[in-house]
Amino acid sequence: QVQLVESGGGLVQAGGSLRLSCAASESIFSFLVMSWHRQAPGKQRDLVVSLTRGGSTYTADSVKDRFTISRDNAKNTVYLQMNNLKPEDTAVYYCQANRNGLNYWGKGTLVTVDS
């Protein structure tokens, strides 16, 4: 069974940076798409960034020019670099892997941005 484990969340001041990691239990190259989603309190879970096997990326407008997704195939890890964080970025961040029409989720990591 696929396991995804997120790490790197925490409390940061507005304007600061964090890098989240998502470690997969198997080769991330086996997945068609790897992505990060977030869910703020009382809100729905939204897609933030995604990265296809072929290297194409998508970035939500709300985080454009601030968040970047990347991967290290050798470590089976996907990263989310978050810069210039804002209080509205406060949320639980989830890693997702898609393969053969199935979505796999991690348990999430909490990011809190203090103004």
Whole-number pLDDT of residue 72: 96
pLDDT-derived band of residue 54, with 50, 70 and 90 as boundaries? very high
How far apart are the C-alpha atoms of 31 and 28, rounded to whole Å?
Answer: 6
Beta carbons of 74 and 7 less than 8 angstroms apart:
no
Q: Please state the φ and ψ torsions of residue 60, each to the nearest 5 degrees.
A: -65, 145
Q: Exposed, middle or buried, 54 (CB in 10 Å: 0-12/13-18/19+)?
A: exposed
Beta carbons of 83 and 69 less than 8 angstroms apart:
no
Which tokens go with 34? 């790897």
Q: What is the mean pLDDT of residues 36-43?
A: 96
